Amino acid sequence: MQNGSLQTERLQESLLSVKLGVNIDHVAQVRQARKGMVPDPILAAQIAEKGGADAITVHLREDRRHIQDKDVQFLRKIIKTKLNLEMACAEEMVSFACKLKPEDVCLVPEKREELTTEGGLDVVSHKGKIEKTILRLKKAGISVSLFIDPEVEQIESAKEIGADCVELHTGLYANAKNNLREKIEYRKLVQAGAFARECGLILNAGHGLDYENVTQVAKIFQMHELNIGFSIVARAIFIGMEQAVKEMKALIVG
């Protein structure tokens, strides 16, 4: 799809309601603890779709600590919504994505020793490499999002090098230790969101969102999609995946 029509289609969608991308990495993480077959992330994705997920998100990490190549290949075939592949800007991953052709790729920074993605991609400092990657992915028909901190310079660079979308890192807002810090971080998200939309970028957000802090982020003007994993999988342990997704969806749509 051409960039302009993708933008228009997604803008129209975000005016209807905010979308929910369910990240199933943590289901695979439990499976990998025993290197067995269960719990099955594929089944989790199917149940998440039943609960109202608009997209399934997976992060294929270079160390393959949770999601495996075969999981992504299988998901590509069976999910009914769309596949959002998070990955590092590395040759191995770019070739994999170009063959697999998920609807969306979200480029993220990746460090082997981190527990989860820490901080956004530094687009300003790595413009050349990221621009080449975006070009290759877009040629393969994939929409490209960059996971960035809510900063004007990062958004400007994302626009300049041809990204379709930015996913704002909500970690500092989600982990704020007091109300004042939370307000400051929220304000940054609102301002960055407005600027991204002014630049014509599709606006997504994610990281650390849960059943308490999600509503505010979903209210940000023209928010298109929220990608949420940990809190949904944690709640699913007690109430099941379908209900955990339904509850999250109700919060972001409501």
Q: Which residues contact 197 (CB under 8 A, 6 or more apart)?
A: 203, 221, 222
Sign of the C-alpha dihedral computed for residues 196, 21, 186 and 230 taken in this order? negative
Instruction: Give the Cα separation of 56 and 90 in Å (integer).
Output: 22
**Does residue 92 have an active-site annotation?**
no
Q: Where are the beta strands (DSSP E) in 14-164?
A: 19-23, 55-59, 83-87, 104-107, 143-148
CB of 2 to ligand PXP, least distance (A): 25
Nearer to ligand PXP, 42 or 217 (CB): 217
**At its nearest, how many Å lie between ligand PXP and the CB of residue 27?**
11
Are residues 52 and 246 in contact, defined by beta-carbon separation less than 8 angstroms?
A: yes
Q: State the catalytic residue, choosing from 26, 49, 59, 225.
A: 59
Q: Hey, is 22 helix, strand or coil? A: strand
- Residue (59 or 224) nearer to ligand PXP, CB: 59
Phi and psi (nearest 5°) for 167? Answer: -105, 115
* For ligand PXP, the closer CB: 55 or 209: 209
Provide the minimum distance between the beta carbon of 159 and ligand PXP in the complex, in angstroms, as a whole number: 19
Q: Between residues 79 and 226, which has the closer beta carbon with respect to ligand PXP?
A: 226
List, in order, residues 6 or more apart from 126 with CB less than 8 Å away: 89
| From 26, 49, 66, 86, the catalytic residue | 86
Q: Please check whether residue 23 is in contact with residue 229, taking contact to mean a CB–CB distance below 8 angstroms.
A: yes
Q: Nearest Cα to 209, choosing from 22, 39, 44?
A: 22
Separation CA 42–CA 70 (nearest Å): 10
Of 5 and 33, nearer to ligand PXP (C-beta) is 33
**Would you call 91 a catalytic residue per the annotation?**
no
Nearest distance in Å: CB 123, ligand PXP: 14
Q: Which residues bind ligand PXP (CB under 6 A)?
A: 23, 25, 59, 86, 106, 108, 116-117, 147, 167, 206-209, 227-231
207 catalytically annotated:
yes
Task: Give the shortest CB-148-to-ligand PXP separation in angstroms.
Answer: 10
Q: Of residues 26, 66, 207, 224, which has the active-site annotation?
A: 207
Q: Which residues are catalytic?
A: 59, 86, 207
